[in-house]
Structure 1
Amino acid sequence: MVFRRAFAGLVAAFMVSGCAVAPEPAPAEDTAYIFSSFRGDGETGLHLAYSLDGLTWTALRGDASYMTPEVGGQLMRDPCIIKGPDGRYHMVWTTGWWENNIGIAHSSDLISWTDQTRLDVMAHEPGVMNSWAPEIFYDEETTEYVIFWSSSVPDRFPETDDRGDIWSTTGKSLNHRIYFVTTRDFETFSETQLFYDGGFVSIDASLLKDGDHYIMFLKDETKRPEPEKNIRIAVADQAQGPYGPASAPFSPEGVWVEGPTAVTINGVHYVYFDAYMEHRMRAMRSGDLEHWEDISDQITFPEGIRHGSVLPVSRDVLDRLIAAQ
């Protein structure tokens, strides 16, 4: 089986956040973790929390926003932050429910942010319905930033057409696949391309490097004949693919989830996701990415948190964030 062959030999390999550049090796006691997230529909903007163990998460700045949305549909959903090789933090987010664009901003300290810019990633697709859950990943092999998201383009992928879904107020299909662009300077961008088509409706992809492999977590958004609403994994040898067949779901059976993000702490892989029907975050833990333990009852997050991304940082960075509250 392609999926199992791809995972052979990956046990105990080092993994970082689903949208983070691998940090320099450091003692565990010198590492902290920042969780970027949103509240409600994203009206209040960027919220940050921190943890020292990946289980207990504490809101920073009293859970007040670090940046409010100004571009696109003026929401700030699904914020994903990485630290690039330039030493700066780069963030992308969903600007609205029915937009053809995403938002981008940059920071040197996670506190003060540049002016927000709007990137019209799907403006070339007439009638495109949305640009959801963008994430950013630095491809060390090509020295490019890869920005990817999910969009539904009317009448594309008819074999998995979800026409008539409750989200479609126009009668057009919601038939998402993952698309991407690349950039080196955030001024010029490649043309939009299809990133992943696993043969099913998919959103909320999150990418990370694990040894010689690249792991994509993504939500199966299939609604018919029965809803899936779970998290699966695909594997590639290069960051920009091609990615192989998706694994079987590993998120809790019967629980509708979205927005996965992953981090490795002391050799153990943690995957957090938004159990949106339960109005809480949940998590799974694994030592080999095949056998999973539900640790949802062991984690605590700020009230009202919605999904985002995990970013490993040094304790110095966390100390400055706490001091600036």
Structure 2
Amino acid sequence: MSENPLQPSRRTVLGAMAALTATFTIGSTPARAATTSAYVMGYFTESPSGNGSDYGLHLAVSPDSLQWTPLNQNNPVVTPTEGTGGLRDPFILRKQDGTFVVLATDLKGTDWSLQSQYIHVWNSTDLRSFTGYHRLKLHEMATHSWAPEAFWDASRSQYGIIYSAVNSSGHNVIMVNYTTDFVTVTDAQVFFDPGYDIIDGDLAVGVNGVNYLYFKKDQTLVGAKSTTLDPGSFTVFSTPVAHGGTEAPILVKSQTSSTWYLWGDTYTPNGVFYAWQSTDLSTGTWTAVDQKLYTQPLNSKHGTIQSITTTEYNNLLAAYGAPAWNRLKSYNYPDRYVRHSNYVGRIDAYPFDPYTDSQWKLVPGLADSSGVSFQSVNYPTRYLRHSNYQLVLDVNDSTTTFAQDATFYRTAGLADTSWSSFRSYNYPTRYIRHSNYVLRIDPISTSTEKSDATFSVGY
């Protein structure tokens, strides 16, 4: 079967992945003789009006931890059946035997008054099937067990499960229980308490002999470090980073360079991910990553990122499939995506509802199959077409004029050849661009116009 010319070449993706190889370790002990070359993200979904909210486990994959492909059409791959019947804050750990365990907060929705002492637990050999589902009780306190994560403590030959709970101190601290099987645990104890309210702990273990713990303090992400994993051994050292109110830190190591990424999730509005980078965790300082370089999965919230092998990446895509739709991100306003609103084409800041307004099927051009037409996902009888040079969402009336107005040729991006631009079929000197956030077709000459006419086709 020939490859779809409207989508990135699979050979290109696999070629990029082949360059990304590194033996993975958990703590200081190799988990198994394998190489990791890609990443999987776990998350739940929320959108501003709740149209895209789902409290099951969602998965996305990436060859570089920056550009993500949601799996299963961005639907959940597994959903809790006990407790509240929903999850938040999932975490994926590769265990010492090479298989995975998934942990998550037992909470469906946003009723923070619910005080579950339990977390959800699944086992998985491949993240395509999930077994041994159960809830695990972590403590007897009248408080929650939020944002559980796990790590291998080689000195104890046990896994530590860390999570946020209100201790006798009266504020949230990071607690820890130890386990060998994620079925029974030791008594809870305080893992980290800097003397003020903190939640959402995320660990990087054994980085040049140092362990790093990032967490949310107030509305910022802050780091602590320790040469051991002992409870009470971590001390705060980093400069806080934030983009608005930021929570849910994720530390991710590049597999091709010395770069570390710190992801953060804004809790208003509805989980916009931002990323920072550093080549040396010991400095505690971070530089913001250009939003052009990364795209979070649609409606994703409070994620977890785990390295996987090329085989695991391919198997996940084969099992769940890539989305049947795309989103288009603006080059010079990378927080904005192409959408229709009141049947007018425009770019708006993510997130918004209905989120389906930004989902498009890039189908063979109605006037020329070597071109492309933009079919709306939530109004499938309608396509983007130009009318008086402005892009509108109209019902296909099967006329030649409509077909021509709705057909465009995808070219190398005018501002960046790794992105895309779209030239009009029947006005070949004009390209789709945004002007005052509204889409139209115009002749393009200046650098600003080239940037206005450049888009990323992703998910």
Deviations 1:93-152 (A, max 9, x none): 000242111111100110110142111212x22xx2311101011112221111110112
Structure 1 stretch 107-116 or stretch 235-244: which is displaced more?
235-244
1:49-64 pair list within 5 angstroms:
49-64=60-75
User: Which residue among 294, 299, 314 is the counterpart of 1:319?
Assistant: 314
- Counterpart CA distance in 1 for 2:312 and 2:149 is 22
CA contact (8 A) 1:79 1:92 kept: yes
User: Which residue among 258, 276, 284 is the counterpart of 2:267?
Assistant: 276
Q: Does 1:69 align with 2:61?
A: no
Secondary structure of 1:318's counterpart equals helix
Q: Aligned in 2, Cα 1:24/1:188: closer, same or farther, shift over 3 Å? A: closer
Secondary structure of 1:321's counterpart equals helix
1:74 alignment partner AA = G
User: Which residue among 246, 259, 269 is the counterpart of 1:257?
Assistant: 246
| Aligned-residue offset at 1:15 | 12
Q: TM-score, normalised by structure 2?
A: 0.57
Equivalent position of 2:286 in the other structure: 292
Q: Does 1:133 align with 2:147?
A: yes
- Counterpart CA distance in 1 for 2:290 and 2:267 is 13
Secondary structure of 1:324's counterpart equals helix
CA contact (8 A) 1:18 1:208 kept: no
2:154 alignment partner AA = E
Gaps of at least 5 residues in structure 1 are 1-13, 159-174, 221-227
| Aligned-residue offset at 1:18 | 10
Structure 1 stretch 37-46 or stretch 82-91: which is displaced more?
37-46
Equivalent position of 1:11 in the other structure: none
- Counterpart CA distance in 2 for 1:186 and 1:45 is 20
Paired residues in the alignment total 281
2:244 alignment partner AA = V
Q: Which is greater in Rg? A: 2
| Aligned-residue offset at 1:54 | 2.0
Equivalent position of 2:188 in the other structure: 192
| Aligned-residue offset at 1:240 | 3.0
Secondary structure of 2:236's counterpart equals coil
Q: Does 1:117 align with 2:134?
A: yes
CA contact (8 A) 2:136 2:184 kept: no
Equivalent position of 1:4 in the other structure: none
Q: TM-score, normalised by structure 1?
A: 0.79
| Aligned-residue offset at 1:88 | 1.6
| Aligned-residue offset at 1:211 | 2.4
Secondary structure of 2:314's counterpart equals helix
Gaps of at least 5 residues in structure 2 are 1-21, 321-459
Larger relative contact order, structure 1 or 2 (CA cutoff 8 Å, min sep 6)? 1
Deviations 1:34-54 (A, max 9, x none): 111111297431011111122
| Aligned-residue offset at 1:242 | 3.1
Q: Aligned in 2, Cα 1:274/1:25: closer, same or farther, shift over 3 Å? A: farther
2:261 alignment partner AA = Y
Equivalent position of 2:233 in the other structure: 243
Q: Aligned in 2, Cα 1:285/1:100: closer, same or farther, shift over 3 Å? A: same
1:272 alignment partner AA = W
| Aligned-residue offset at 1:24 | 6.4
CA contact (8 A) 2:149 2:163 kept: yes
1:232 alignment partner AA = V
